[in-house]
């Protein structure tokens, strides 16, 4: 399977449109037109709920007010096979106080993950956990891709990169 290249600093992030749990479309260029975007790619549904993803999401939620103060929108992508992905995503978000400035979208069958060169082609894997800081207009200011389950960037690091 051929993958696209992962966006790097200085490039414009490829546009995409994914859907929320309420089936509303979210287009990247619409979000970046309004201001900076912190794009967080989770492991999604690798046949179980990833505890490291849960910890990472809780860290970002705790810093929601700081992201809002910087005028940044947080966009989290939850990839996985289309079959029951919405149900698994609802389970993942259960008991999380989701901030209004955060957007959670599904990547069924990995269309986004493949377009961003982040597909982790191993048993019980989905995507390489990643974080991008996108400027107004979609330019990539910062990019980090983890090739392991750990090596996630904290909300504090994302906030520092927002400057």
Q: Say what the pTM is.
A: 0.95
For every residue of 83-138, DSSP letters joined together read: TTHHHHHHHHHTT----TTEEEEEEETTHHHHHTT-B--STT--B--EEEEE-TTS
Per-residue pLDDT of the chain (163 residues), as tens digits, is: 456 899 999 999 999 999 999 999 999 999 999 999 999 999 999 888 999 999 999 999 999 999 999 999 999 999 999 999 999 999 999 888 899 889 999 999 899 999 999 999 898 899 999 999 999 999 999 999 999 888 999 999 999 999 7
Residue ranges of domains in the chain, CATH in brackets: 17-162 (3.40.30.10)
């Amino acid at each position: 399977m051929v993958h696209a290249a992962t966006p790097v600093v200085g490039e414009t992030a490829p546009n995409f449109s994914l859907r929320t749990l309420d089936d509303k479309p979210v287009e990247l260029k619409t979000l970046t037109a309004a201001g900076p975007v912190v794009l967080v790619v989770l492991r999604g549904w690798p046949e179980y709920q990833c505890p490291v993803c849960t910890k990472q999401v809780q860290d970002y939620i705790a810093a929601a007010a700081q992201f809002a103060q910087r005028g940044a929108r947080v966009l989290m992508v939850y990839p996985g096979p289309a079959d029951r992905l919405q149900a698994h995503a609802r389970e993942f978000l259960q008991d999380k106080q989701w901030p209004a400035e955060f957007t959670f979208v599904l990547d069924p069958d990995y269309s986004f993950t493949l377009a961003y060169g982040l597909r982790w082609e191993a048993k019980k894997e989905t995507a390489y956990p990643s974080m991008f800081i996108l400027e107004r207009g979609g330019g990539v200011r910062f990019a980090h891709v983890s090739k392991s389950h750990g090596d996630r960037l904290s909300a504090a690091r994302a906030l520092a990169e927002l400057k």
